[in-house]
Chains A and B, each alone.
Chain A
Amino acid sequence: MLSPVILVPAILNGLLTGAVYGLIALGLTLIYGVLHIINFAHGALLTAAMFAAFFAHRWLGLDPYLAAIVLTPLFFVLGYCLQRFVIGPAARGEDRNILLVTLGLAVVIENMLLYAFGADTRTLNLDYAFNVVDLGIAFVLIAFTIVVLGGMGSVTGALVGGLFIGVVESLCGLYLGESLGQIGIFVMFILVLLFRPRGLLGERA
């Protein structure tokens, strides 16, 4: 066993990341709860928003927390347009089509960003900053893990699941090594789907 001196900061760190995860999963579970859409492009839109916040800071000197006030309505409009003009007409309401269309969107958005900005990671130099912009399809899985864990469409489930997953990732990283941190998340995802598909807090499947 590791001493509390290492363990406690790891858990706190996990809770911090987990809170962010929870917020992201909240968006995903909201879409599912209302529209019953599994939005595969959720992670890609998140990456786009991160880049937007990054450049708002770089070019306009806007603090990310202030940028959020502008970016939130902006991405609301973007999301509306995607659903109204792309996902809706292309998928014609069929589950499999929605999955494929949003997968296509995810690939397009992520690689457009890659093409435009290159593959370098970018860091924000703020006195409270800790994040690096480097995500991918794997990130969607983390958000889905949380949503599935908390029960599809459940808001409380998403927030609690987010914190839980953050701690799991942090502890897996601590015990198994940094690069294996995410494996705990995916294994948990598989296990939950196989054995408790209604989620741990299980409201509705």
Chain B
Amino acid sequence: MRGPSIAHIVLVIAVLATVPLLTTSNVVLNFFTVALLIALVGQGWNVLGGYGGQYSFGHAAFFGTGAYVSAILQMRYGVNAWIAFALGLAGGALVGAAIGALTFRSGLKGSYFALVTLAFAEVLRILASVAPITGAGVGILITLDLRPQAFQFQSRAPFYWIILALVAASLVIVRLIERSRFGAWLVAVRENEDAAQAVGVDTARVKLAAMTISAAITAAGGGFYVQYFLFIDSGIAYGPWISIEALLAPIVGGIGTVFGPLIGALVVKTLGELTKLIAGDAPGLDLVIYGGVLVLIVAFAPYGIAGLLADLRVRFARLRSSVPERAHG
């Protein structure tokens, strides 16, 4: 199956870019901003999990590092917010590379890889909940400074366009990976690691590179979170919730596809909002829906919504090509 072209990406981003022009409702803009944030975090997971087949249960490690590095540099060292954001991204990538180097060198895969990434995230969460530099149990509040050079804005629209630009960049990166030699190696590792190794692919290095890119994209989400909500604590940064959102979006949308995480994030967030509308703001209920959706998708649509759409297209094409034959016969 051939992936989408750059033109498709431009079209989708252009359509999404009109949202702030169509509505001034903060509720709607907030919904789309959070959905795009999850799409970005999920796209990070998708690089490693979707294309590389390495299912991480601990992407919170990268999200949280991106968030904390950015927040700490701003509040403790007075670094400019944009530079802090970039360094947060780099910090996340570094943590990804470190965890990747350790786990892949020991040959951990499958369930073991999932569990060990979760353990890393939990270690970071506990450390962040006691270390003074992360604000321990209190967390870090970013001082209000509503100027563009401080990465803060009067209205929500600029935030929305920034997260959209980040998502656009992640889509282009994943599309480039998909068509590159590196992408082919990555898929080879997913399909059959031993065979890939046998034909000369340096599987450990390919996985390490994928993990680093994956971590960087997810860390960008963490950095954006801090600017948008102006607050971070250990539970938000390194808690299991973000690890679950990170894998839920691409799995629901379509694992190993360019648009999967974006589709998945929009669908999952819509479901979450609908649950809140129907059942009120009850704690835990939206997560019950998420868990249920995860089970249903694995059971009935292992290639996610993108897979279902591709399936429909094939069936439709077959239907169209068979109609004239019948007319002649």
Contact = CB atoms under 8 A, between A and B. Distances in A.
Query: Does A associate with B in a complex?
Result: yes
Interface of A: 38, 86, 89-91, 95-97, 99-101, 103-108, 110-115, 118-119, 136-138, 141, 144-145, 148, 177, 179-180, 182-183, 186-187, 189-190, 193-195, 197
Nearest to B130: A179
A189 B119 contact: yes
Given A112-B288, A193-B116, A197-B108, A141 B130 contact: no
B298 A104 contact: yes
A111 B116 contact: no
Per DSSP, chain A at the interface is: helix
B166 interface: no
A193 B200 CA distance: 27
Contacts of A112: 284, 288
B112 A95 contact: no
**What are the 6 tightest A-B residue pairs by CB atom distance, in nearest-first order?**
A107-B291, A90-B299, A104-B294, A114-B284, A111-B284, A108-B291
Contact of B123 (A103, A118, A190, A193): A190
A190 B58 CA distance: 13
Interface string B243-273: 0100100010000000000000000000000
B57 interface: yes
A103 B294 CA distance: 8
B329 interface: no
B111 interface: yes
B290 A194 contact: no
B126 interface: yes
Nearest to B126: A183
A145 B122 CA distance: 13
Contact of B110 (A95, A145, A180): A95
Interface in B20-69: 53, 55, 57
Nearest to B293: A104
Contacts of A138: 122, 240
Given A99-B55, A99-B114, A141-B115, A186 B295 contact: no
B118 A141 contact: yes
A104 B295 contact: yes
Pick the most buried of B110, B119, B251: most chain A CB atoms within 10 A of its CB: B119
Contacts of B295: 86, 90, 101, 104-105, 108
Given A105-B291, A111-B288, A100 B112 contact: no
B127 interface: yes
B111 A38 contact: yes
A137 B123 CA distance: 13
A107 B294 contact: yes
Nearest to B243: A137
Pick the most buried of B129, B251, B285, B287: most chain A CB atoms within 10 A of its CB: B287
Contacts of B292: 104, 108
Contact of B127 (A86, A119, A144, A183): A183
Nearest to A193: B116
A100 to B, nearest CB: 5
B231 interface: no
Contacts of A89: 299
Given A182-B126, A194-B108, 14 more contacts: A90-B295, A95-B111, A96-B55, A99-B55, A103-B57, A104-B293, A105-B291, A107-B290, A114-B284, A141-B115, A141-B118, A144-B115, A189-B119, A193-B112
Pick the most buried of B116, B292, B293, B295: most chain A CB atoms within 10 A of its CB: B295
A177 B130 contact: yes
A118 B293 CA distance: 23
B108 A193 contact: yes
Contact of B106 (A179, A189, A194): A194
Pick the most buried of A103, A112, A179: most chain B CB atoms within 10 A of its CB: A103
Contact of A111 (B108, B287, B294): B287
B108 to A, nearest CB: 6
A110 B241 CA distance: 13
B191 to A, nearest CB: 13
Nearest to B112: A193
Contacts of A141: 115, 118-119, 122
A174 B77 CA distance: 34
Contacts of B110: 95-96, 99
A195 B294 contact: no
